[in-house]
Structure 1
Amino acid sequence: MWVRYLGFVILFGLPGALHAQPCGAPGLDGGYFVPLQETYSHEIEIIYACDSGRKPAVEGWWATSTCQNGVWSPEPQCIGEEDCLPPEIPNAKFNKKQNSWYNEGNTIRVTCDNGYELKNRDATAVCLNGTWTSVPVCEISNNTCGEPPQIPHAVIIGQKYQASFAADSKVRYKCEDGYSVEGAESKKSIFCISGSWSELPKCSRGTRQNTGHGSSVEVTTSAGSGTQTVGGGSGSSAGGTAGGHPTSTESGTQPGGGGRGSGDVVHGGPTITGSSTTSVSNDRNSKPAFIPVNECGVSPVIPNGVVVQTERMYLKYECNSYYTRVGPDTVVCTNDGRWSELPSCKEAFCVLDLAQYSGIGIRQTGKEYIKEGETKNVYCSYYDYVIFTCTQGRVTYTRCCEAYYHNYGGC
C-alpha cells in the first residue's frame, strides 16, 4: 500500500516527464538517418547524412538531431552542395536568411560593429560553388579607444564593462561620497577622440565651511599661518597646519571674491598674494590636452566635407557622397588654441563614358559615376550585361554575357 502511494507521489512530482511529447520520423528530403523508427522518445538522437550532390545544413557531411518535446532540433535538412552556410565573421553583422543557408549566387553585405572597420573596405561576399568568396574582415579601428582609465575614488556609471570603445563614445565617472570634481559636482564625462580619451577628471576630498555670510570653500595654506577662506562672503584666517597647496603672504582677514557657488571645490589650490585681493588660479600639474572647441573659433572648412556632429569637446566630419575621408573623422581644439589634424576628402569614384564601349555591344550613351570599389551592370542585349568596376579610380569591365556566367566567373 505505501509503495503504491509513494509511486503516485513521485510521478505527480515529475509532470515534465509525463507530458514530454514523442517525435515522429523526420521528413528528410534527399537524405537518410538512423535509427529508422516510426516514433522517437523525448531526447532521442538520430544521425543523418545526405545523398550525392547534397549536404547537411550544418558543418560536416553527417549531422545529428535530437527530439525535444515533439520537435526535432535542429531540424534535419539536406541542401545543395553548391549552397553556402552562414559565414562566421567576428565583430560583424549581415543579412541572415530565414532558412539558415544561402543559395549559390547570393550576396551578403557586412557591417562592422562599433569600434571596428572593414579591412580594405571589402564589404561583400558571394556564395559560389558552396563557398564564400573574399569573406570580409572587421578589424579594430585606429580611432577606437581602450578601456577608460581607472581613477582613484571614482567609478564609471551607466556603462557595462567593455575592452574597447568606438570613436566619439562617451563615458561618465562618478566620485564616491565625500569626493567631487570641479564645481563640487560628483560626475564628469570624457570622450573617445581619435583613439585617445579626453581630459580625465580628478576626484578630490573637499571640506566645506559655512561662515554665516554665504558659501565658502576652506583651503589650507602652506605658509604656516593657518587656513584661508575663499568664496561668497567674508572669512578670517585661523591657526592651522601647512597644506602644501596654496600660499598666503599676509595674515589677517581677506575679502571673499565674487564668490563660487555653495559647495564648490578649488582643485590644486589658489595662490593668495597682496594685502587686499585674492587671486585664484588653477595649479594643476599639466594643462589639459584638449579644450572646448569654441575656444578655437570658427569650425574649419573641409572641401567636399561637412560637420555632422558638434559637441563641446570635438567636431565630427563626414565627406560628401563619392568622396572618401583621409585622416581622422574628429577634430579637437588643443590647449594652445589650435585645431588638431584636419581630415581631407578625396575623390572616390570613376567616370564611365558609355559612348566609349559601343564596340562590346553597349548601345547606351552618356556618363555614369561609379563609387570606388563598387560595380555597375550595363545591359548589352536583352539578357546579357557587362559589369563595370571602379578600382583605384580606374574602370575595368567584363565581357558581355548572361548572369549565369557572371556568377561562375566565366566572363
Structure 2
Amino acid sequence: MSSALSCDVLIPDKMCFRCLGFVLLIWFPGAVNAQSETEPCNAPRLDGGFFVPVQVTYSHGTNLTYACDNGRKPAVEGWWATSTCQNGKWSPKPQCIDEKSCLPPSISNAKYTQNPNDWYKETEKIRITCDNEYEVKNNDATAECKNGTWTSIPICEKSSYACDEPPKIPHAVIIHQGYQDLFAKDAEVSYECEDGYAVEGTADTQTVLYCVAGNWTAGQPCKLKPPVTDRTNSEGGTRPGAGPGAGTSGVGGTGNAGGGRSTSAGSGTQPAGGRGGGGVDRCGEIPKLINGAVETERMSLKYKCNEYYELVGAAEVMCYSDGSWSERPTCKEAFCTVDTAQYYGLKTLPQVQYVKEGQSAYLECLQQDQYGNYFAVAHCRNRRISFQGCCSRYYITWGGC
C-alpha cells in the first residue's frame, strides 16, 4: 500500500492534509504550471503620465487606466487608455508620447515598415507598398508625420492590370486555389475537367487561364471525351498555317535502287526480301502520316514530322513478308497558339501566332514609351502559353522584365 493511502493512519490529521497536498502536486504537475501562467504584474513605469489604481503589484487580468500630462498623449487612440495585466506583462504597454508624434496609420491592401516603438516621431516618413492586386493612387506612396497627424495618407486602389474572379467553364472546376475575387497580373488558375470530359480538341483534362493586362485569357471548353479511333490510314494533314515553311505533307521520295537490307533466315514473319520479293510493294498502299511525310526505301519507310510537330514512335516502318506493316508512328502537336485579339493590351495581329514548344515569342503591346512599343513575352511550355507582362523595349534590351 502506498504512503498516500496510509497517511491518515500513521500521522495526525493536519499533517495528513499536507502529505496529501504534496502527493497531489506530484500527480498533477499542471497545477504548478497553471499558477506560473497567471503571474501578477509589477506597477508599470509611465513617464509623463499617471495611472489608477496605484498598487505595488496587480493580479493577472487586472485593468489599469492611465492618462498623460500636458504636451503628451497615450500611444493609442484617445486621451486616456487602458492596459491589462497578462501573465506578468502589461498589454498594450502603457506609454505617453509627444503629442506631435503619430500613431501607425491604417492603410488597406498595403504594407510599410513598422516602427518598433509602435509610433512615429514628428517629421518621420513612411513609404507604402501595395499588395500585388493593387497600385498606388496618383503615384503618391509616402506620408509624413506632422503635428500629430499624417499628411495625405496613400491609397491602394485596384490595379488596372489585375483581374476579377476567373470565368466559369462548364464541366470544369478551379483546382489548388481558394476563392478570391481579385488576382494580380500574370496570375494563373488551373481548371480540371469533370470526369469523362476533356479540353476541346485535346486529350488533356486540365487547362490554364492567365491574367494578362486586366483580362483573363480565353479558355477552351470541356467536352465529352471522343471515342478512341485509329487514324493510321488517314490522309496527310498540314502543319500550322502561320508557321514558317508551312505546307502539305504526304508521300515523299522514291524507292531506292539496288539491294535492300539483309534479313535473318528462318521461319516466321520477317521484312520482305529483295526486289524479286516485291520489297515494300508486297505490303500494298503506303500508310500516310498526318502532319508528316514519308520516304520509301526498298524494304522500309522513313517517317518524319512537319515543323511544329514531334514524332511519337519509331521513325522506320518495316514491310513484313506476310504483307503487313510494322507499327506506325504519329505526329504530336508541339506548339502553342496565341490569338492576340483575345488579350487586352496586345496589338491585334491578323492571324493566330504559333510558338514552338520550349520557345518564346515577343508580342507587341499597345503601350509605348520614348523607346517605342512595349512587348509581352509569351512562353510555350507543355503546350500552354504563359506571359510576362508588357515591358519596355529598353528593359528587354538590357535583360530586364
Same fold (TM over 0.5): yes
Q: Are residues 306 and 158 of structure 1, via their aligned partners in 2, closer, same or farther at CA, if it must alter by over 3 Å?
A: farther
CA offsets, 1:216-262, max 9 Å, x none? 3xxxxxxxxxxxxx63457xxxxxxxxxxxxxxxxxxxx9962899x
CA distance in 2, matches of 1:58, 1:293: 59
The answer on 1:139 being equivalent to 2:157 is yes
- 1:151 corresponds to which residue? 169
Which residue number corresponds to residue 290 of structure 2? Answer: 258
- Distance in 1, matches of 2:143 and 2:340, equals 49
Following the alignment from structure 1 to structure 2, what is the Cα–Cα distance between the partners of residues 76 and 66? 9
CA distance in 2, matches of 1:320, 1:130: 45
Query: 2: CA distance between counterparts of 1:153 and 1:139?
Result: 34
Aligned length: 261
Against the structure 1 CA distance between its residues 100 and 292, is the aligned structure 2 distance closer, same or farther, given a 3 Å change threshold? farther
SS in 2 for 1:108: strand
Superposition TM-score, scaled by structure 1 size: 0.55
Cα deviation digits, residues 347-389 of structure 1 (max 9, x gap): xxxxxxxxxxxxxxxxxxxxxxxxxxxxxxxxxxxxxxxxxxx
1:319–1:156 Cα change, 3 Å? same
Q: How does 1:120-269 map to 2 (within 5 A)?
A: 120-181=138-199, 182-209=201-228, 216=229, 231-232=231-232, 258=290
RMSD, aligned α-carbons: 3.8
| Residue 77 (structure 1) aligns with | 95
Residue 128 of structure 2: SS of its match in structure 1? strand
Matched, 1:53 2:126: no
Deviation at 1:319, TM superposition (A): 4.8
Q: Say yes or no: does 1:106 pair with 2:124.
A: yes
- Per the TM alignment, residue 44 of structure 1 is displaced from its structure 2 partner at its CA by 1.4
* Partner SS for 1:191: strand
CA–CA separation in structure 2 for the residues paired with 1:308 and 1:159: 29
Answer whether contact 1:53 1:81 (CA < 8 A) is retained: yes
Contact 1:124/1:135 (8 A) holds in 2: yes
Deviation at 1:33, TM superposition (A): 0.9
Q: 2:342 aligns with which of 289, 298, 312?
A: 289
After superposition, the C-alpha distances for 1:140-179 in whole angstroms (9 at most, x for unaligned) are: 1222211112223322223222110122221111223322
| Greater RCO, CA 8 A, separation 6+ | 2
Q: Give the fraction of aligned pairs with identical amino acids, expressed as a percent.
A: 46
Tell me, yes or no, if the aligned pair for 2:362 and 2:375 is still in contact at 8 Å.
no
Distance, in Å, in 1 between the alignment partners of 2:208 and 2:196 is 19
Q: Is 1:41 the equivalent of 2:108?
A: no
Residue 317 of structure 1 aligns with which residue? Answer: 390
Structure 2: distance between partners of 1:132 and 1:121: 17
The 1:168/1:16 distance shift into structure 2, 3 A limit, reads same
Query: Could you say if the C-alpha distance between residues 34 and 319 of structure 1 is closer, same or farther in structure 2, counting changes exceeding 3 Å?
Result: farther
Structure 2's unaligned 5+ residue stretches are 1-7, 9-16, 235-286, 292-308, 311-338, 344-350, 356-360, 380-384, 395-400
What are structure 1's unaligned runs of at least 5 residues? 210-215, 217-229, 235-254, 262-285, 322-329, 331-411
Opposite residue 26 of structure 1, the aligned amino acid is P
In structure 2, the residue corresponding to 1:120 is in which secondary structure? helix
Which one has the largest radius of gyration? Answer: 2
Q: Deviations over 1:237-288 (max 9, x none)?
A: xxxxxxxxxxxxxxxxxx9962899xxxxxxxxxxxxxxxxxxxxxxxx998
- The 1:293/1:102 distance shift into structure 2, 3 A limit, reads farther
